Structure 1
């Protein structure tokens, strides 16, 4: 390839080849030259000592030969003088020849001095490459540049004397310059590489800029632009971890790269402040190098070369580099700096944001902020004054790093929350899907286990979720583990944010913004979770139960979720007024989730009620056979009254329903069994209320049809039984005036049935019916407790009921639905004395015996066995209807 390049014809090269081909040829030539240069450098390095030794020997021999020649010349001149004195009379040459001889001597001396000077210059050219490399390795770039310029000055003088016979005999001078010429690019590349370093001191930066001024012969404005461009490149390479430094070639942590990039930006402004202002370090160095007292360039050579300086011409021996007086206006610095700041903004928007996206923990964020705060921000008052800049423009950390740090913190919170919520949602979906293949197991919830009771007082008082309480709410082991995992992930988020909030360098308003962002993120993620859950459009009963159990468990069994809204006590100093707002948002979230879960509950309720519809379970018509089969045994009530005219006691007996229809009781019992199979857990009060509302609406519709039947209109007993059923339902399900619509429907239907009953008979039946309804409701209350668990005297009505269960449910709570309403009445205490309860039971027994034997003679003291109080038991029953119309008691017999 070298032979082909040597055979190139330069004259025809530009005619036969294109520009790209010529460029490729030039690169090949440059490559060959570099290879040859390396070979020559290697050869010179190996033989340099021998060459120096030979050169010193030649110099010593030259000195000895010069002395010998001088002595020979002295002898010749003495002999010639003596010969002329002896042969003065025989002299035939003219006197004018002495001038020619003197001229010849001077010419010979000049040629000799020229020879010595040429040899010394060649020796300097031979020594300069090694010396330049030494300065480059020691990063003394200005000294290397000065020696390169000195070598070029020597080579230029020798090339101008190329027609001299001596130079034609010494081609080494031309070849040596070919070795020295590439140092122009070598020094420039080394200077540019140093200016791209992350760590750059003011002395090294000034040395590099001074080297560029001398090497490129450019103005200071161009050097400033080059310097700023290289610092921008250093900023990008630092963020991309592509630095040429050996340490940076290794895998660097993100935190180190971010801090190093900040150090580069601050260091660039600091270098400009120290070096490039009117009284900067660069101008001082240039003035020192331009002073008359500055030693010449040959003073940088070794001592052996400096001793031969007297043999060199003055133009070489006294050479020193010259600098034009640098001019750098404040406007030029300002324009260049503003352009650099705009470029940094563009690079930071792309590269810095990208590297911040790699930060994955709050601890790293805190370390970055602590390290940045520990590095005191220098004051550039003089720089800002001269360039008329705002101090905020040079605060890179505040305006470029702090917004990205805050944005990354928010992204970490959002992504961590989203990941935790997505993982939880996937687990919920898995549990929902697995619930399709599982049969409902009500006994699994209520079966006693060894782990239910705490093993110690400390375990009982701990904040860990109670196993028995969780099972009463339907929370399975998988659901509890799901909540525990979700709470662990949220606790980690809260803990990481707490690390950042405890950091002293973070401003209070930033901490408040982070707390608010955590709450907003938690609220948004929970809403997204509910939205995803709604998109599943669950219809199957077990899937609905599993979905709502898991969702309600997230609120109840995940304390860290509440901490995202209601801040911990350690955050209150920054949260301030946000604490009350957080509690309000938490209540809103709970209410919203309960509302969404209530929709799922209503789907389950509708499913149960549609499967066990009262129209299908209860008879649609009442016939005489149905009356015998469906109506329970009526209670015969004996009434004893005093005849006002004859002063005789008159007895009369009436038959009153004692309990609701058997079909109604059977239907309610089957409905309870179906509800226990469908929902084995304890129903929340709000769901139970909705269930009862729908159930009573269906029952009212059914009784509307029965009331409209002809058999009901024609039979007073049927109407009376239906009236009793409605009063029973109204009392058992605690229909109060607060539930206006349902209450009006019940009483409207009861009034319709009363129209089918003789008013005089109803006047007699009314009080006793109410007593029997109360007695029947008390007797069946335990059986219907699943449906009537909500107390009748609940403060504020059902409007304040929620889906949340009691704070600490236990086994004793299962025996009652409140402080006054008992599911299972307690057994009486048997003592010698008769207690009121024993008396009541005795009266009930007596009443039943009288009902079985209606012809028994009534005692003298009139008693009403069905009375609920002792005062009513001891008083006589008197017909108000007979008194009102003035009829005798015989009419009722």
Structure 2
């Protein structure tokens, strides 16, 4: 039968199915299996619990021997009592009896030594249990001394002591136990100077160490204590660092109290050690309370007078040596803390968590004589454990967290931008045409409080609700960052931050916030450098887009980058620490450059759409010219000869052609959709230059065709009109290009006719520009573009009867159309002299007529009369 089936037998079924021989065989197999299991169990117990079994056997043996010894001692006591009661002074001891008595004395001495050794073992265990390791050490040394005395007895006596070997083994075990207890005590986080001295002296007595060796041993044990804290599990990192700080503070105090020789007074170790091994010290046995027994008188004097022996030697340069060892310990401890806290600080994910760690550590009080301790240990003046060991590590972690938080903020901003762009595409809230959004009044535009008119402000800046929402999210991420670091940097909440966070002369306060400047600079640099990634992300995401989506996303992202510079105040604060705005200017410059690149996508799209209209300029067929030419100006010219006066009529173009006007209207509309007054100046100029370049190139192709004089005159006015209105003066390339085209067109005109027509043509160009500047105000590069034409020079007639043109004169570089009107003709150089005569015929006011002040009603009436008078006479001229 298989062995595995022996444990699962059914006895009743076995007797039913098997024969008697089989049953006997199964019984034999069962007995063999049981015996094998017993052997395995004995082997396992012997291997795993060998020490316990040996200790158990030793304890049983000691118990039996102790009972025998106690019984024999009682018998001896009774015998001695009977001898004392029986007078024997008169009995003369024979030499044989003397020898017998000597042997008995030897046996009594051996007996009391054995009893003393057993008693010392008990006292050692009791002292260890009470935590008195120094007494345990002294008792052990005395027990070892007693054992050495026992081993010097006659061999015949020793052969009768089977427990002698057990006592020897017991002493070895006790030595290891004492070492273990001393180590545990010295490696405790919190330990008093007295306990440290007791345990160090115990260690010195056991190992017979010098003071240098003892110092090294103490430092190594304190390193182990610190490493234990590093490897221990705490509820939070704050409690772990506080425990480590207490451990280091305790270590420095113990070093000073136990080892430093202060003046004429030695350290506590040497004072206590002198009471143990000095010449005037008490014998070790005097510290024991021996049981009352007549055998005490048989204790040898060498045992009674025993005290530990130790050679004390204090070197002259001991203090400098100890200071060097202390500095070496500080250096190694710094490395251990830095490596040990690396993993623990990974659990702290906020700057506020580091602030709580620092606050917990600052609560730990230092002793009043701390400066004296630092001086005696040759430590730096005002040496601070927290600042020296932990503050650099926390600063490094704070720097890492700042970089990580800013990185997360930038990633979150990227996701928000991507989400906002998707919402715009899904909801159809395009940034291409904001006119309805801006010019539609809403009850929420103006609030009761000063800051509640945010919507109206944003409308005037051209920022849509989606852009505002996105900027609010961006600003909130940096607000959370400022709130997180505020307490660490200044000790107060961000909303309660004062203008002066600390007093200049408060050393303790400044030491607490010693890394403030470092973190502020890092925050400023990180925010500045990482902000470039927003621009890169937008550029990369738009590089894959085409068609209409590219324009929508470009406009939204361009306005978002512009709005960030104006609306994200917390982002600005992160880049302006230490009262320096250079970095924020860099951020705004980067955003502005990227914004201009995105705006150019829209400009290029507008240029592509303009190409279809531009192609109509090159159609010079008679049918198209009849439809495209506007009304010409008929001018009568006179030529006086000696004989008679000759009069003739000439026709000069008065307005730009219809195709060019349509193009300009289209450009004006494109700019109006995106709110031209909110466009960056560079984008506005680029828009004009790109379109002018396309239009001029088309006119250049027109010049290569066979043009008649009428077509050449009209195209010459168109080019001059376009150049004067839209080409910036500083763009010499476009100016030269325009002049070359005009030269080609002049070559198509008869020189005599050109000489007669050109002054009138120039005059009509000025008229046309001045009359249409309000309609095409968006197409002016700057407010000073038309200054040379006298467009802003007020005549005396204008001062008396102001017209609507005064309202359209821009006060800054941002142009936008007011009303689609044509302004009445103004007086220009070269006008006919008939109007001068009319002006001179106006009656002058008499000097004798007194000037009376006009009341407000008359002023309003005159202004209204002037306004409606102009409406009836010159409005549609």
TM-score in terms of structure 1 length:
0.72
Q: Is residue 2:306 matched to residue 1:314?
A: no
Distance apart, 1:672 and its partner CA:
5.3
Q: Which residue of 2 aligns with 1:857?
A: none
Q: Which residue of 1 aligns with 2:193?
A: 202
Change (3 A) 1:516 1:701: same
Checking the alignment, whether the CA contact within 8 Å between 2:653 and 2:761 is kept in structure 1 is yes
Q: Which residue of 2 aligns with 1:811?
A: none
1:774-785 map, 5 Å: 776-777=768-769, 780-781=772-773, 784=776
Deviation per CA, 1:587-608: give whole Å up to 9, x if none: 2331232123212222331233
Q: Which residue of 2 aligns with 1:527?
A: 532
Change (3 A) 1:38 1:272: farther
1:475-624 map, 5 Å: 475-476=466-467, 479-492=470-483, 495-496=486-487, 498-499=489-490, 502=501, 504-506=509-511, 510-536=515-541, 537-539=543-545, 540-567=550-577, 575=578, 579=579, 582-613=580-611, 617-624=615-622
Alignment counterpart, residue 637 of structure 1, candidates 629, 634, 638: 634
1:568-717 map, 5 Å: 575=578, 579=579, 582-613=580-611, 617-632=615-630, 634-637=631-634, 639=636, 653-671=649-667, 682-711=678-707, 715-717=708-710
Checking the alignment, whether the CA contact within 8 Å between 2:136 and 2:178 is kept in structure 1 is yes
CA RMSD between the two structures: 4.6
Change (3 A) 1:684 1:435: same
Q: Is residue 2:413 matched to residue 1:424?
A: yes
Q: Is residue 2:273 matched to residue 1:286?
A: yes
Q: Structure 2 unaligned runs (5+)?
A: 1-42, 492-499, 503-508, 788-806, 824-858
Alignment counterpart, residue 823 of structure 1, candidates 788, 795, 817: 817
Q: Distance in 1 between matches of 2:622 and 2:629?
A: 10
Q: Distance in 2 between matches of 1:306 and 1:645?
A: 172
Deviation per CA, 1:214-269: give whole Å up to 9, x if none: 1123433332222222222223332333xxxxxxxx51432343344344445434
Q: Which residue of 1 aligns with 2:230?
A: 239
Compare 269-278 and 826-835 and name the one that shifted more: 826-835
**What's the secondary structure of 2:282's corresponding residue?**
coil
Alignment counterpart, residue 80 of structure 2, candidates 63, 66, 77: 66
**What's the secondary structure of 1:139's corresponding residue?**
coil
Q: Distance in 1 between matches of 2:418 and 2:179?
A: 66
Deviation per CA, 1:687-744: give whole Å up to 9, x if none: 1221111111111111122233221xxx2221221122223323443x4533433334
Compare 112-121 and 411-420 and name the one that shifted more: 112-121
Q: Structure 1 unaligned runs (5+)?
A: 1-24, 82-97, 242-249, 568-574, 796-813, 849-893
Change (3 A) 1:39 1:753: farther
1:248-263 map, 5 Å: 250-263=233-246
Alignment counterpart, residue 143 of structure 2, candidates 146, 151, 154: 151
Compare 193-202 and 352-361 and name the one that shifted more: 352-361
Distance apart, 1:758 and its partner CA:
4.8
Distance apart, 1:561 and its partner CA:
1.6
TM-score in terms of structure 2 length:
0.73
Q: Distance in 2 between matches of 1:343 and 1:641?
A: 109
Q: Distance in 1 between matches of 2:293 and 2:691?
A: 117
Q: Which residue of 2 aligns with 1:300?
A: 287
Change (3 A) 1:476 1:403: closer
Checking the alignment, whether the CA contact within 8 Å between 1:816 and 1:823 is kept in structure 2 is no
**What's the secondary structure of 1:721's corresponding residue?**
helix
Distance apart, 1:375 and its partner CA:
5.0
Checking the alignment, whether the CA contact within 8 Å between 2:628 and 2:658 is kept in structure 1 is yes
Distance apart, 1:622 and its partner CA:
0.8
Change (3 A) 1:394 1:499: closer
Checking the alignment, whether the CA contact within 8 Å between 1:202 and 1:271 is kept in structure 2 is yes
Q: Distance in 2 between matches of 1:452 and 1:781?
A: 35
1:392-431 map, 5 Å: 399-431=388-420
Checking the alignment, whether the CA contact within 8 Å between 1:296 and 1:319 is kept in structure 2 is yes
Checking the alignment, whether the CA contact within 8 Å between 2:475 and 2:569 is kept in structure 1 is no
Deviation per CA, 1:103-136: give whole Å up to 9, x if none: 4444454455455544444443444344323322
Q: Distance in 1 between matches of 2:347 and 2:314?
A: 45
Q: Is residue 2:50 matched to residue 1:32?
A: yes
Q: Distance in 2 between matches of 1:833 and 1:646?
A: 52
Q: Distance in 2 between matches of 1:132 and 1:30?
A: 28
Compare 620-629 and 372-381 and name the one that shifted more: 372-381
Alignment counterpart, residue 718 of structure 2, candidates 711, 715, 725: 725
**What's the secondary structure of 1:710's corresponding residue?**
coil
Distance apart, 1:213 and its partner CA:
1.6
Checking the alignment, whether the CA contact within 8 Å between 1:790 and 1:817 is kept in structure 2 is no
Compare 615-624 and 55-64 and name the one that shifted more: 55-64
**What's the secondary structure of 2:510's corresponding residue?**
coil
Q: Distance in 2 between matches of 1:763 and 1:597?
A: 49
Checking the alignment, whether the CA contact within 8 Å between 2:482 and 2:574 is kept in structure 1 is no
Checking the alignment, whether the CA contact within 8 Å between 1:475 and 1:549 is kept in structure 2 is no
Distance apart, 1:781 and its partner CA:
5.0
Equivalent residue pairs, number? 748
